Amino acid sequence: MIKDQDLLSIQEVHDAVVEAAEAQKVYASYSQQQVDAIVQAIAEEAYRQAEHLAVLAVTETKMGVIEHKKIKNELASKGVYASICHEKTVGVVHEDPTAKQIEIAYPYGVIAAVSPVTNPTATAIYKTLIALKAQNAIVFSPHPTAVNCTIEALKICHEAAVRAGAPAGLIRWVAHPTIKGTEALMQHKNIQLILATGGSGLVKAAYSSGKPAYGVGPGNVPVYIDHTANVARAVQQIIDSKSFDNSTICATEQAIVVHQDVKAQVMTALAQNGATIVTGEDRLKLAQVISPVPRTLNTQIVGKPAINIAKMAQIQVPASTRVLVAEEQYIGKEHPFSMEKLSPILGLYTAHSQEEAIRLCQQLLDVGGRGHSAAIHAENDQFVKEFSIQMPVSRILVNTMASVGAAGGTTSLTPSYTLGCGAYGGNITSDNITARHLINKKRVAYGIKELAVPKPQHPQNIQQPAVAVNTGEDVTIDPAMIRKIVEDIVSKLTV
């Protein structure tokens, strides 16, 4: 049923898309230099406002950590800009003199963007930068519980863009987002591409819209600590990663798989890094808080500090607790510690061999993270390769924080807040989405090879069957008579 709020949202969608489409027509005539100046201005202003936006995001959503949101905003602005600033996205982008081929870029047009509550401002900045770098306009449907901070980020980007010479309306948004409004945005006739970052239902809707779409699946990232790992460093990085912004990045570790030979060292290191091991009755209470409805995550724990979640579960933990850890043997959606928890809670599994570790990681991914990411801490490069080959994911993070590593913060991966899950996850790409994914290319190809077309060497004197012509009567055409008529005509023409 469509309600008044839905009608308002749908009207806002229409107005925003129409305005963005008009602005994009003007923007499509800009040179690479003009586009780059606008993108640089947005990145610099968003970077300057990173802390302000972080405060707004945490205040509004009640998720995450201000200092960590600030880092996310900085990566989304300066980090993303540094990765795309030298890329050609306008006009001729590549010439191959040998192949005699030219590639010319052209934009999609107007992009529909949906941003999540977990990373609202960083996603808004990042998607704006890559869309405008590719000469597109962009219209956002913010998450309903992160509307104000998302719109503030977009206003900052829009004002910076206009000051740098962009046409007004190139960056638009829906101020009253609803499900019906978001559907109307994705299905609008002037939308040429969808960038969907959010839950599986949203991604499914994007793929069902009939429009080209980049959607990403959930992450349920296992991290394996091998017996060859530097255990102290591995555990420190895992706990730092898991507590980063209270585990709101989809590439964050969700369960540790540890080789039995180093388990004792891992347990000691966990305690040294602010992790509290939850056992017995407390473990059961925590599991109930994670998933009060079987096979479903409790959204009230998403992005909350570990000590707050412990209070929800009515268990006592030290005030210094950064992450809650519980040992588990079973894997499946009915076992909460094996789920994607989006909060500083880790399941812990013991592997008696490397082969068992691989199997456990694969099973954890099957719970809901296929295609996304996996992590490993090991000093044996050959085994890292074997592990990576067998993981049904699009990125494997080695000896680093999986959360920010997958997004390009601590690795050489492309900085991105939309991480493709490839065929494993039902996505069109396994890449970290960036500006190059938001352009089309036309190819100009010169002839470089001669093709000799052979002429027939034999007369094409093929007898044709009689043809029945529907004249109202049964008539049969005699091929011999037709040849006689043709020969008579030809003889007259050659006289």
Give kind and range of the element (H or E) at residue 484: helix 479-493
Query: For residue 20, which of 194, 137, 111 has the smallest C-alpha distance?
Result: 137
Give kind and range of the element (H or E) at residue 140: strand 137-141
Separation between Cα atoms, residue 370 and residue 387, nearest integer Å: 15
Q: Would the pTM count as exceeding 0.85?
A: yes
Asked if the domains at 4-216+434-444 and 221-412 fall in one CATH topology, the answer is no
The amino acid present at 443, given as its one-letter code, is: R
The amino acid present at 351, given as its one-letter code, is: A
pLDDT digits (tens, 9 = 90+) for 244-259: 999 999 999 999 999 9
Secondary structure of residue 233 in the 3-state scheme: helix
Cβ atoms within 10 Å, residue 107: 24
Asked if residue 157 has pLDDT above 90, the reply is yes
- Is CATH 3.40.605.10 correct for 4-216+434-444? yes
Separation between Cα atoms, residue 342 and residue 199, nearest integer Å: 12
Annotated catalytic residue within 149, 157, 250, 421: 250
- Which are the contacts of 231, defined by CB distance < 8 A and separation ≥ 6? 225, 262, 265, 266, 269
Q: What is the CATH number of domain 221-412?
A: 3.40.309.10
pLDDT digits (tens, 9 = 90+) for 107-152: 999 999 999 999 999 999 999 999 999 999 999 999 999 999 999 9
Distinct helix (H) and strand (E) counts, the chain: 17, 15
Sign of the Cα pseudo-torsion (109, 110, 116, 118, in order) = positive
Separation between Cα atoms, residue 114 and residue 141, nearest integer Å: 5
In eight-state DSSP terms, residue 454 is: P
pLDDT digits (tens, 9 = 90+) for 395-412: 999 999 999 999 999 999
Could you tell me the residue ranges of all domains in the chain?
A: 4-216+434-444, 221-412
C-beta separation of 231 from 353 below 8 A: no
Known catalytic membership, residue 250: yes
Query: For residue 433, which of 159, 194, 265, 173 has the smallest C-alpha distance?
Result: 194
Give kind and range of the element (H or E) at residue 362: helix 354-366
